[in-house]
Every structure is written in C-alpha cells, then in structure tokens.
Amino acid sequence: MSKSESKQIFFHVGLGKTASSYLQYKVFPYFKNIEYIHRNPRYLRAAEIIAKGKSERYLISREFDMQMEREVKKIADVYPETKAIILFRQHDSWIASQYRRFVKNGYTIPFNEFFNLKENQGMFKKDNLSFYNYIKILEKHLNPKPIVLFYDDLRKDPIAFFDYIARQIGTTYNKKDISLKSKHSSYNEQQLKAIMRVSKKIDIRRHHLKKSFYIFRRFYTNMIRYSTLYVSKYLPGSWFSNEPLIDPDYLKEVRDYYEEDYQKILEYARKNNP
C-alpha cells in the first residue's frame, strides 16, 4: 500500500444554510490528530497538501451549491476512497433561510419569484431542492457511502452531533473549546423588511459592485446594510406591513411537495450511517 493510499480523507460537502460556516470556523479547527483543510485558499490546493503531507487523516470542508459535482469529482479523481459528510435540513426551512440571506444581501424580489414551485422559475429551481440527487452525486464519484446528517439534530443536541462526527473520522476534541454561539447573526422579520425597503432605493447587492474601487464600494454598501439592520430593531412595528415576508401556507406547499425526497434521505441515513 502506498503512502497516499494509507491516508484517511474526509470531505465535508457543505450545502449553504446548513450550519457549514459554523462547523468550519467553530468546530472543525478544534478536532485533534487530523489536518483540517478549510475553504480558500488551502482548499484549492487540497490534493497537493494531502499528497505532500505527513498526516494520516485529513478533513476537507467547503460549502457548495450548484457546483458540487464538479468539485467532488476533483477530489474523487485523485482520492476516490474519500468519505463524504453532508448535512440536510427540511426543504421549506432551507429555501426560506436562503431567501432571508438574499434579502439581507440586498435582493428585493418576493419569495414566490425567488422560488416558484408551480412555474419552476426564479433564482432556485425545483431540481435545486431535490436533495437526494446530492447523495447520488457523492455515490457516483466516491466509493464509500456518504455520512448523511441533519441540521435539526445539530440544533437539538450540538455536543452529541460533534461527538458523532469526531467518532466517525477518528478524532477527539475538548468540549470547552467549542463555542455554541452561531457564526452568523440571524435577523428578524422587521429587520429584513427594512433592508428590503432600503434596497429598493439603493442597490447594495455585493455581486453587482463594479471592480473599480471595489473595497470602498463594499464598505459603503455594508455600512448601509448593517446600519439599517441595527436601527430597524428599534423602530415601531406599525412602520411595517403586517404581510409576512414569506407566506406560511406557501412554505407548507414546499414541505409537502418535497416530503418524499426528505423521507428518502432519512431512510438512507438510517440504513447507511455508521
């Protein structure tokens, strides 16, 4: 057996809005006896780092959306025995959280244009929420079956969740080192309505910033964004519409539509998780 074949490699394939950033910054750095390869820029050299490294175990972590298959294949082409770890959350909760993130970042479209279940139009399409397909991608490119975990379990009992991952990848950690405080702040309905109102007058979307003077433009948009989010917490509720940011009845439609997909993921985890 060659030196590279004797190495154990684990790949946390993070979907957005499944606590990926929290795990990457607040948990994985404290795992012992495993070399952690985190996002950019080290992630871009992951295969090279593993090939030249002296560690016996490696944990790669990266957050993906639509580019998952391309990135998984890059690792699989070199290390097909890599074991993937992936988290899911229920479809309605996931797409609602994605929408809140987009609103916070300056997008002003209503939820039914962000994700339209009937017409399959918007920034996210129906296939983007077919989560079982992500499992099939991992099975297609990597030999070991992935470890499938759930966001709700992390929320319910984070320490038990971390203990499980640590056991599966053969590591330990000190519980006192782990902060249970989330990596990113969450914003309430009133704050998001306020930022949407401001965004209709001032374009604060980061991806639309011109390259010239990018740092200054980003500082300017961030100043508007975060000052709005802060001040709006203290404004009277009467200043805002009673219309919910996301229609709860529509969210229930989303949950019902993808219930079969979610049950398939649960069953897969029951059968295949170590």
How far is CA 126 from each of CA 95, 130, 150, 245, 258, rounded to the nearest angstrom? Answer: 11, 7, 21, 21, 10
Q: How many residues make up the chain in this entry? A: 274
pLDDT at position 218: 78
Residue type at 134 in one-letter notation: Y
Cα within 13 Å of Cα(262), Cβ side: 16
Q: Using H for helix, E for strand and C for coil, what is the string for the chain?
A: CCCCCCCEEEEEEEECCCCHHHHHHHHHHHCCCCEEEEHHHHHHHHHHHHHHCCCCEEEEEEEECCCHHHHHHHHHHHCCCCEEEEEECCHHHHHHHHHHHHHHCCCCCCHHHHEECCCCEECCCHHHHCCHHHHHHHHHHCCCCCEEEEHHHHHHCHHHHHHHHHHHHCCCCCHHHCCCCCCCCCCCHHHHHHHHHHHCCCCCCHHHCCCCCHHHHHHHHHHHHHHHHHHHCCCCHHHCCCCCCCCHHHHHHHHHHCHHHHHHHHHHHHHHCC
pLDDT at position 6: 82
pLDDT at position 240: 84
Domains in the chain with CATH codes: 8-184+259-272 (3.40.50.300), 189-251 (no CATH)
Cis peptide bond N-terminal to 41, omega within 30: yes
- pTM of the predicted protein model: 0.89
pLDDT at position 5: 62
Say if residues 106 and 226 touch (Cβ distance below 8 Å).
no
pLDDT at position 236: 85
pLDDT at position 106: 92
pLDDT tens digits in sequence order for the chain, 274 residues long = 344 568 999 999 999 899 999 999 999 999 999 999 997 788 999 999 999 999 999 999 999 877 899 999 999 999 999 999 999 999 999 999 999 999 999 999 999 999 999 999 899 999 999 999 999 999 999 999 999 999 999 999 999 999 999 999 999 999 999 999 877 678 999 999 999 999 999 888 866 656 666 677 778 788 888 899 889 988 888 788 889 999 999 999 999 999 999 999 999 999 999 8
